Structure 1
Amino acid sequence: MASHFSRVAFTYDRTRYHPPEVSGRIATAITAPVEKFFRDPLFLELGAGTGRIAVPIIARGYRYIALDNNPAMLEVLRQKVAGVARKARLVEADACELPFERHSLHAVIAVHFWHLLDCWQEALRESLRVLRPGGFLFEGWDQGDGESEDWRIQQKWQEILARMGYRLVRGRHQARLAEVERELLRRQLEPRTRVVAEWVEMRSPRTSLEMLSERIYSFTWAVPEEVFRPSIAELLAWASDVYSNLDAEYPVRWKFLVRTTRL
């Protein structure tokens, strides 16, 4: 999906964001435990994208490696941290074969990431390899309440696809998180999950439709183009009939969870 993200990096950055106070809470939840055990820690983020996790941590002056395999995403991030990136490195590389020495990092961060990889076992193994003893693996994800207009629009699209004979597969992210947790437990590690932030996002039907039509969500990627385009056209027509104003905003309630594993 690298070429896809090259086209939509700026849309991704604009639509997949956290409010400043939420970004601050997430940054604290990740950095505070590490600071208790290490001086001047070095953080690595896998699949850093355009930097919604990286930027607030980099801005606090931490040493930080933002890794992604897509140069367009990294270019957006590079522009955002141009004035505060003295201790930051942006690295284009494969998470399944990390270009770092064994035991060279204090923390590895993976947010909405494992489900994007076929080689997630290798990426996890690599993450644990580069962590020094006592280091931290942080996994993070957003979790919606499932009752918003945003969810209604997604469900309508799923119904349209079903009528066209295409079964949309969802839930891969949560399923992969469960797989990773089982692997961590198998390694006799102790992952612990907690909610670190809650907030309400105001979102319009137009934004929800844009996120689907630009294939921002990973569950849209496997839909063949010959099915995808007519299904989106039908969804847009439905939305124009249902919503008198596509720019009228509605609330979407979110939580951000962090699963922490210490070696």
Structure 2
Amino acid sequence: MVQKSNYYNNIAHIYDETRWLTAAIAEDVINYILKLVNATPDTSFLEPGVGTGLNVFPLVKLGYPVTGVDISESMLNQFRYKFQEIPDNLTLIQTDASLLPFPNQSFDVVITCHMIHAVHNWQEFLNQVMQITKIGGFYLNCQWLTPLARLEFENHFRAILAKYQPFSRQQSPNSITEINVDAYLQSQGYQGNYSIAKKWLVTNTVEELLRCLKLRAYGLCWQISDNIFEQVITEFEKFCIQQYGSLETVLASEAKFEIWMYTKCNNTIN
């Protein structure tokens, strides 16, 4: 099985094109976030697990100070390639996002997007996040989870994949279902404010989704050897033709970008 950093190195060049958060949607989300946090031109942002910069690229273009941390240098390079030259307001650091190498009260806004399950100790990570957030600043825990039609498609793939895995794989380091960020932060004295930044319709043909799997664009595709993966894909493609009638069948469902916002106040623990 490929380690997570290597997995991201392997897919960095196809990451953006195989996700359903487009550049246009990301711009709408950032405009929403700027209003949510009452941003000024000097408002500083950090995204641990920044990857290719898909979420925060619009912030950089608008001139806000942005720092990104990621374990994969290849993912960070994809972010760099989006600029003719790296702007002065962007700082990228290659390191494990579980370890945030910043002094206390360094950033006005810290953003995480569907990455907390990947850190080694998520409670300690959240403690660090709140420590490096300035008093009066914000932590935004964001999710843009898999749209329903796409999730059902992937679950069919998982069912076939499971036949080739004799032992159930332990999720590492955390199971997503075991993590309750809101409950933990409430226990630390923070109150969350939930909102939906954006809803949009995601449409793909079965063939387009199958291509993403063939490119091994997702972590579940790296849980098995290359030879077994080819067997799984062959079987799954036959299943798709039977299940959907044609590889040109269009699957459509709503996606949404969710935000849980926490304010760093003087009376909170960190």
TM over 0.5: yes
The partner residue of 2:135 within 118, 133, 136 is 133
Q: Tell me, in whole angstroms, the C-alpha distance in 1 between the residues paired with 2:158 and 2:169.
A: 6
- Distance verdict in 2 for CA 1:23–1:246, change over 3 Å: same
Q: Kindly tell me: are residues 206 and 228 of structure 1, through their superposed partners in 2, closer, same or farther at Cα, counting changes over 3 Å?
A: same
Gaps of 5+ in 1: none
* Candidates 99, 102, 107, aligned match of 1:100: 102
Q: Give per-residue Cα distances to partners, 1:150-192, cap 9 Å, x unaligned.
A: 334323223223444455789x77525x422222011010112
Q: Is the 8 A contact 1:55 1:81 kept in 2?
A: no
Q: Which amino acid aligns with 2:161?
A: L
Deviations 1:193-216 (A, max 9, x none): 211111012212233223334443
> Partner of 1:58 in structure 2?
60
83 and 27 in structure 1: CA distance in 2 versus 1, 3 angstrom threshold: farther
Q: TM-score, normalised by structure 1?
A: 0.85
Distance 1:119 1:210 in 2: 34
State the match for 1:158 in structure 2: 158
Aligned residue in 2 for 1:179: 180
Using the size of structure 2 for normalisation, the TM-score is 0.83
Per-residue CA distance 1:2-37 (angstroms, 9 max, x = gap): 11211211211211242444222310232223335x
Deviations 1:39-64 (A, max 9, x none): 61110001111111111111111110
| Residues 81-106 of structure 1, C-alpha deviations (whole Å, 9 max, x = no match) | 34673311111122222121111111
Alignment RMSD: 2.7
Rate the CA distance shift 1:190–1:218 in 2: closer, same or farther, 3 A: farther
95-104 or 78-87, which deviates more: 78-87
Q: Which residue of 2 aligns with 1:15?
A: 18
Matched position secondary structure for 1:80: coil
Could you tell me whether the CA contact under 8 Å between 2:240 and 2:246 is conserved in 1?
no
**Runs of 5+ consecutive residues of structure 2 not aligned to the other structure:** 265-270
Aligned residue type for 1:210: R
Instruction: Summarize the Cα distance change of 1:21–1:9 in structure 2 as closer, same or farther, 3 Å threshold.
Output: closer
Q: Is the 8 A contact 1:140 1:256 kept in 2?
A: yes
User: Who is 1:197 aligned against?
Assistant: 198
Give the 4+ runs in structure 1 shifted more than 6 A: none
2:71 pairs with one of 69, 72, 75 = 69
Q: CA deviation at 1:110?
A: 0.3
Shift of 1:248: 4.9
Q: How far apart in 1 are the matches of 2:82 and 2:213?
A: 25
Classify the secondary structure of the residue corresponding to 1:30: helix
Looking at structure 1, the residues matched to 21 and 192 of structure 2 have their Cα atoms a distance apart, in angstroms, of 24
Q: How many residues align?
A: 257
Between the two proteins, what is the percent identity of the paired residues? 23
Moved more, 152-161 or 91-100: 152-161
